[in-house]
Amino acid sequence: MGIFSRFKTVVSSNINDLIAKAENPEKMLNQLLLDMNQQMVESKKSVAMAIADEKKIERELAEQKRQADEWEKKAMLAVRAGRDDLAKEALLRKQEFEGYFLQLKPQWEAQKASVEKLKESLRQLQNKIDEASRKKNILIARAKRAEAQEKIQKTLTNMSGNTSAFDTFDRMAKKVDELEARAEAAKELEDLSKDTSLEKQFAQLESSGASADLLLEELKAKMLTEDAGTKN
């Protein structure tokens, strides 16, 4: 299993575990990013080891090439000195190092190609982690809004299911209506009482005036009668 396959397996396992236990989205997202970054550190270590192996093969390859070139120079030196026997030995050694070089070169090329792929995958993975980090705050804000909405909805549901509070308000409203009606009735009675008293006063005045006139007329009639009797 490659390092990124292991990374995906570990992160996926952590995600499934966190989702199963998700009671606090903010805590879950923070923990997830922490796990991803920790796995990223481990992946970087593995890529660094692959790079180190590639550099080691490259140095070994360069050494084989250097040795081959060195024995070729020695063979030339032996030829110039008339020592063909030494030249042959030197050429055999050159051939030996060239053989090692040719064996190592495909390994180095394959390792180099693998390292380049790992580097690119590492860059892509880092970009995804950076993107996840940027999205974290947005997701947390959305989770908090959803949680607040859920609480409000539960409160409304509980209030709808419990009618005692609303019934109390209705009873108080009726009570206030009754008090207002009584106050208005009392005021009307008071006004009516005032009007009746005033009418009685005027009636008494009118009655008093009429009696006085009648008495005066009776008195005048009596006096006329008495005057007439005296003259006779």
Mean of the pLDDT values across residues 201-213?
63
Helices (H), 83-163: 84-161
| pLDDT tens digit sequence for 137-192 | 888 888 788 888 888 888 777 766 555 666 676 778 787 788 887 777 777 776 66
Q: What is the phi/psi pair of residue 81, to 5°? A: -85, 5
pLDDT of 1 above 50: no
| pLDDT tens digit sequence for 81-138 | 999 999 999 999 999 999 999 999 999 999 999 999 999 999 998 998 888 888 888 8
List the structure tokens of 146. Answer: 């959803």
> What is the reported pLDDT for 77?
95
> What is the reported pLDDT for 10?
47
State the distance between the two ends of the chain, measured CA to CA, in whole angstroms.
164
> What is the reported pLDDT for 201?
66
Query: Which residue, 107, 6, 129, 127, is CA-closest to 57?
Result: 107
What CA–CA distance (Å, rounded) separates 232 from 225? 11
pLDDT of 11 above 70: no
Of the two residues 215 and 148, the one the predictor is more confident about is 148
Mean of the pLDDT values across residues 20-49?
84
What residues have CB less than 8 Å from 9, skipping those under 6 apart? 1
What CA–CA distance (Å, rounded) separates 125 from 120? 9
Q: Is 114 exposed, middle or buried (0-12, 13-18, 19+ CB in 10 A)?
A: middle
| pLDDT tens digit sequence for 147-161 | 888 888 887 777 665
Question: Tokens 């909405």 sit at which residue?
Answer: 149
What CA–CA distance (Å, rounded) separates 159 from 151? 12
Mean of the pLDDT values across residues 17-34?
72
Distances (CA, A) of 199 to 91, 165, 184, 203: 152, 51, 23, 6
Mean of the pLDDT values across residues 54-79?
95
pLDDT of 205 above 90: no
What CA–CA distance (Å, rounded) separates 208 from 5? 122
Q: Is 106 exposed, middle or buried (0-12, 13-18, 19+ CB in 10 A)?
A: exposed
